[in-house]
């Protein structure tokens, strides 16, 4: 296990802009507050979405696309540096109008309404390629 202590540098709440990309809004806040490491939670609703499921056997992502209104029942993730750019690693649980839920890595979604809480840390976190999983993970 690779771990370290983190010191909080600030906390922010934000309302995501209707019509914007959900993950891009998180990355924009991280850029605005100069967060190179953060943890966030969010909730709201989106007009469409693309979730990714990582197939561990094939070591590749399979997209799951939605072109309908969905509730963001839960959204959690972190911000770190990936190739010197801020990257919001975002997972979400989405639900449709019949209460069915879908979950995975949130690649993109169009915000209908969104509220975000972000806790920023002092020291940056960086992602590097991990041969064992073929993913970009924290150092």
Nearest 5°: CA angle at 106, between 135 and 79? 65
At 12 the pLDDT is 98
Tokens, residue 18 = 């209707």
Domain boundaries along the sequence of the chain: 9-121
At 2 the pLDDT is 84
Are residues 24 and 54 in contact, defined by beta-carbon separation less than 8 angstroms? no
Beta-sheet strands, E only, within 3-97: 8-16, 38-55, 60-66, 70-82, 85-95
Q: What is the pTM of this model?
A: 0.94
At 53 the pLDDT is 97
First to last CA, the chain: 11
Q: How many residues does the chain have?
A: 139
At 139 the pLDDT is 81
CATH classification number, 9-121, choose in 3.10.20.30, 3.40.50.1000, 3.30.1330.80, 3.40.50.10140: 3.30.1330.80
At 40 the pLDDT is 98
At 15 the pLDDT is 98
Three-state SS at 31: helix
Contacts of 117 (CB under 8 A, 6+ apart): 11, 12, 13, 40, 41, 42
Q: What is the mean pLDDT of each run of 10 residues along the chain (139 residues)?
A: 92 98 98 98 98 96 98 98 97 98 98 98 95 93
């Amino acid at each position: 296990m690779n771990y370290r202590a983190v010191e909080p540098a600030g906390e922010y709440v934000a309302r995501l802009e209707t019509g914007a990309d959900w993950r891009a809004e998180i990355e924009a806040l991280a850029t605005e507050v100069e967060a190179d490491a953060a943890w966030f939670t969010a909730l709201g609703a989106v007009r469409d979405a693309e979730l990714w499921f990582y197939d561990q056997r094939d070591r590749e992502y399979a997209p799951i696309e939605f072109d309908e209104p969905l509730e963001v029942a839960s959204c959690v993730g972190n911000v770190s540096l990936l190739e010197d750019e801020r990257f919001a690693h975002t997972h979400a649980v989405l639900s449709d109008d019949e209460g069915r839920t879908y979950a995975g890595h949130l690649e993109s979604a169009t915000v209908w309404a969104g509220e975000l809480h972000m806790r920023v840390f002092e020291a940056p976190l960086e992602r590097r390629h991990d041969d064992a999983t073929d993913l970009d993970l924290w150092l």
